[in-house]
Amino acid sequence: MSLLTVEGLRVGYGKVEVLHGIGLRVAAGEIVALLGSNGAGKTTTLRALSGLEPVRAGHIMLSDQNIAGLPAHQIAALGLAHVPERRRLFAPLSVEENLKLGGYLIRGQQAELKRRIEAMYVLFPRLLERRQQLAGTLSGGEQQMVAIARALILEPRLLVLDEPSMGLAPLVVRSIFTIVQRLRDQGMGILLVEQNARQTLKIADRAYVLESGSILLEGSAEDLARDARVQSAYLGGAAA
C-alpha cells in the first residue's frame, strides 16, 4: 500500500480552481518529484496535503486514513511534515530555538525533544556548530538545513519539500539532496517539488509533471528524463 495516495484533488482560490482533480502516489522509501512550470500548482498541492489550503474535492490518504480536510496540526501529528517554500524560519531565534519549535507537538516530553534535536545535529553537523546562531544570519544552505531539521523533529513518515534548492549554489544543493536520499534510504517517503528538474530527476525514483493544475506526465525518473517533452520544457532541450 502507498504511504500517500491522492485522488481527484481539487483546490482553488475564490472562484478560480487551481488543481483540477489530480492524483499521485508516494510509497515509503521513495523520492517522488513533482515538476512543473511557474504557477502550475505545485505549492498549492503541497499546502493542500498538509492542511494549509482547503480541499474542495478528492481524497488524500495517508496510509489508510483520509486526511483531506483535517487541520494542519493533526496532519503533522499523523506523520506528514512540510518544509515550506522560502524556508520560513523564525529569523530572530537561534537554530536550537527553531528546532524546539518544530517539536511543538511533543513539547511536554523534554527528554524526548532533546534526543530528537541531538539526532538532528548528527544528521546536520553544521547546525551543531551553529546551534546558538540566529537563524536569520545563516547562509541559505544552512537555513534550508534548519528548515528540514525542524520538519524532521516530529519523525514524519512522509516529508514534503517545497523547492529546497531555491537560491542555493549547486554544491549546496547536492549536499541537501544527499540528505534527502539518506532519509529515503531510511524508509521515509519524500515528495519533492522542484524547478531544478535536472538534479531532481537524478535523485528521484518517480516523477509527475503538473501543468495548469493537471498531471500531464508521470513515470520513472529515468523515463521522464529521456522524454522529449520533459527535455524541451524542463531540461533546456538537452539530454539529461
The residues binding ligand ATP (CB under 6 A) are 13, 18, 36, 38-44, 195
What span, in angstroms and rounded, lies between the C-alpha atoms of 207 and 205? 7
User: At 26, which helix (H) or strand (E)?
Assistant: strand 16-26
Bridge partners, 211 (sequence order)? 214
Least Å from the CB of residue 187 to ligand ATP: 27
- Beta strands in 107-169, from DSSP E residues, in sequence order: 158-162
Question: Could you say which DSSP state residue 208 is in?
Answer: E
Judged by beta carbon, residue 49 or residue 113, the one nearer ligand ATP is 49
What span, in angstroms and rounded, lies between the C-alpha atoms of 139 and 161? 19
Judged by beta carbon, residue 117 or residue 173, the one nearer ligand ATP is 173
Judged by beta carbon, residue 13 or residue 104, the one nearer ligand ATP is 13
Question: Which residues make Cβ contacts (< 8 Å) with residue 65, sequence separation at least 6?
Answer: 78
Judged by beta carbon, residue 63 or residue 199, the one nearer ligand ATP is 199
What span, in angstroms and rounded, lies between the C-alpha atoms of 217 and 37? 13
Least Å from the CB of residue 214 to ligand ATP: 12
Could you tell me the three cell numbers for 196? 531544478
Least Å from the CB of residue 11 to ligand ATP: 9
Least Å from the CB of residue 144 to ligand ATP: 16
Least Å from the CB of residue 129 to ligand ATP: 32
Judged by beta carbon, residue 19 or residue 221, the one nearer ligand ATP is 19
